Amino acid sequence: MSFEPAPKTRREPTILADRIGRYLTVFAAIMTVGAFIIGVLVMNDASDDRVYVEAWRTSAYLVFAGLLVIVALAPRSRPGVWELVIAQKTFLVAFSVVMSDVPEARLAGWVDFVLVAVVVSGYVLCRGWQGWQHNATASASAHHNASLAA
């Protein structure tokens, strides 16, 4: 039994949409680096019982900035990275609503809300979901090539 990969039917984004989406994603990465810088300042002023948690939180900003740069550079070849970032930031927005009586949660919630809006816009403009289709096509091709070699 031979397996033929499905024909490539996905529509690529327009050059303009792709460029705008990538720039928005880089903007989100820059915003996240800004949060890292603020986090370093907060970490320096943190009490001994809070310094580890602040360091953990601050280092996470660099991880997210890195993830955003990865998807900005290759928006349709990293399945799951867009969705992971969007899901985590959306969770934080929802949690900030639950914790709305805490001033820090209100401010962070608005910042994360803007970040979600920017990243989702980049995702839609770059057609980030196509990373899943690219990965499935690559797997099907690899399976097909392996069956031919057998």
Q: Residue 137 pLDDT > 60, yes or no?
A: no
pTM of structure = 0.80
- Write the CA distances from 24 to 42, 122, 125, integer angstroms: 27, 6, 9
CA distance 106 to 113: 10
Q: How confident is the model at residue 4 (pLDDT cuts 50, 70, 90)?
A: low
| Cβ-contact 109, 93 below 8 angstroms | yes
Span 43-65, mean pLDDT? 95
Question: Within a domain: residue 24?
Answer: yes
Mean of per-residue pLDDT scores for the chain: 87
Give the domain range for residue 121: 15-149
Question: Within a domain: residue 95?
Answer: yes
Q: Of how many residues is the chain composed?
A: 150
Question: Within a domain: residue 3?
Answer: no
Question: Within a domain: residue 1?
Answer: no
Question: Within a domain: residue 81?
Answer: yes
Q: Residue 147 pLDDT > 70, yes or no?
A: no
Question: Within a domain: residue 69?
Answer: yes
Q: Residue 146 pLDDT > 80, yes or no?
A: no
Question: Within a domain: residue 74?
Answer: yes
Number of separate domains in the chain = 1
